[in-house]
Amino acid sequence: MPEESAGEITATADLNEAAFSSSVQRFRLRVVEGSEIDQVHESQMDLVQIGSHALNDLRLTDGTVSRFHCEVFVSHRDPGETARPAQVHVWLRDLESRNGTRVDGVLVKEAALRQGSLIKLGNVTVRFELCRESNRIPVSEARSFGSLVGSSIAARTSFALMERAAASRASILLEGETGTGKSQAAESIHRSSNRHDFPFLVVDCGAIPASLLESELFGHEKGAFTGASRQQLGIFEEAKGGTVLLDEIGELPLELQPKLLHVLEEAEIRRLGRPGYIPVDVRIIAATHRDLRAEVNAQRFRSDLYWRLAVMRIVLPALRERSEDIPAIVDQMLFDVDPRAKAPLLEGSFLEQLKLHAWPGNVRELRNHLERCLVMQEGMAPDVEPAGEPDRETRSAKPPRIDTRIGYQEGRQRAIEVFERAYLQALLEECQGKVSVAAQRAGIDRVYFYKLIKKLRLRH
């Protein structure tokens, strides 16, 4: 294939809106220095992963290259933001490699690439080249998947992968920042799969002490250890026929990782204190806010376990990468709220304020902010809440506006319902949907707890 000159193509290319919705520009990586000189890889999607591990798109076996060294990816903005055509930028991100990554002689963590940029990975040098062609990327036609909503390219690209994942039997690795909706995505995949009539169970690998996590996952026999007064089934047996979400899989202790690998490879477990193995029929979805490739490089996560978990790797976009979805997300979050109470939060000016915020806590932070606005009965800007001790100006400021058009009792009842909804939902999430445990923590009767769930139409 003939090479293009730097004058013919630049790293920022104009694409029309139709192409933007289903394609990204192709690029080529050519090894120009090192033991594998002249090796060439052309991108097939919007990302190419480089390293010595067999899971990489461009595999370099040189000993100075880390198992997952870096990635090159196409980043774009929404063409609806301005009247100009969409612009495509290609970036490189180092994955905490052992020897680092240099772009045109500069050591970088993340950097934009230009036509002809030279990427140095240990003793290997790779040249970046943009191609004339574009790659088609899967984009769902749907504006929602399960409980997730969004019409942006970023959202619908993840929906397309989830649709494929739901139709398969493969293990899934969900990655994304805290609050991007990984648990919702996992449950939505389960509900859309042929396992939907069977249990969906969640284990937070970061919330359970390592000494108890093995028993939680695999179960134990009576007398297996001090205090084991009866046999207990592990989560993999309890979820028979269904799906197990291993949340925060990056926190799984190293000593338990081979046992999880055995479950994935052999579909069997061994309870603590039991000599033989027990077959299990369960699908495993793992989720993490960490980049497990960097964890593999740091030898905190087994590469063979990553291999088995990342059969299908789905990265959930941050909210700042799909701000155009905020109106739809807000509308969904306020679906059950009284129309008069939520009206100020659906106004265009308020939604535009929300779209300008960075939302480091992502969808979870947005939900919490909306709940505060409902309590205060006012559409507050996301950055108005003071942190720490208020200053003189804050102390002298007027209190949030209260809607005096309604009676005291009605206003009080609205505030109580907002609190009940937020408190019960958070408590149920922390207790993994176990109502008896949540009711005990709340200090209220289990029957009354069920009544509150029914009244507020909460999912559990």
Q: What is the DSSP letter of 246?
A: E
- Supply 41's token pair: 């890889």
pLDDT band at 384 (very low <50, low <70, confident <90, very high): very low
What mean pLDDT comes out for the span 102-112? 93
User: In this structure, are strands 110-112 and 118-121 parallel, antiparallel, or unpaired?
Assistant: unpaired
For 333, counting Cβ atoms within 10 Å of its Cβ (0-12 exposed, 13-18 middle, 19+ buried), the class is middle
Q: CA 306 to CA 94: how far, in whole Å?
A: 18
Helix (H) or strand (E) holding 120: strand 118-121
pLDDT over threshold 80, residue 387 = no
What mean pLDDT comes out for the span 232-258? 95
Cβ proximity of 347 and 379 under 8 Å: yes
What mean pLDDT comes out for the span 376-404? 55
Q: CA 319 to CA 365: how far, in whole Å?
A: 10
Identify the residue whose tokens are 């949540």. 438
Helix (H) or strand (E) holding 160: helix 153-166
Q: How many other CB atoms sit within 10 Å of the CB of residue 219?
A: 23
Q: CA 85 to CA 215: how far, in whole Å?
A: 56
Helix (H) or strand (E) holding 358: none
What's domain 13-136's architecture? Sandwich (2.60)
Domains of the chain, by residue range, sit at 13-136, 144-315, 320-384+399-456
pLDDT: which is higher, 285 or 228: 285
User: Where on the phi/psi map is residue 301: left (φ > 0), alpha (ψ -120 to 50), or beta?
Assistant: beta
| Digit-coded pLDDT (tens) for 391-443 | 444 344 444 455 565 666 666 777 777 788 888 888 888 887 778 778 778 87
pLDDT: which is higher, 296 or 391: 296
| Digit-coded pLDDT (tens) for 163-178 | 999 999 999 999 999 9
In words, the CATH class of domain 144-315 is alpha beta
CA nearest to 313, candidates 88, 136, 68 = 68
Residue 380, pLDDT score: 87
pLDDT over threshold 90, residue 31 = yes
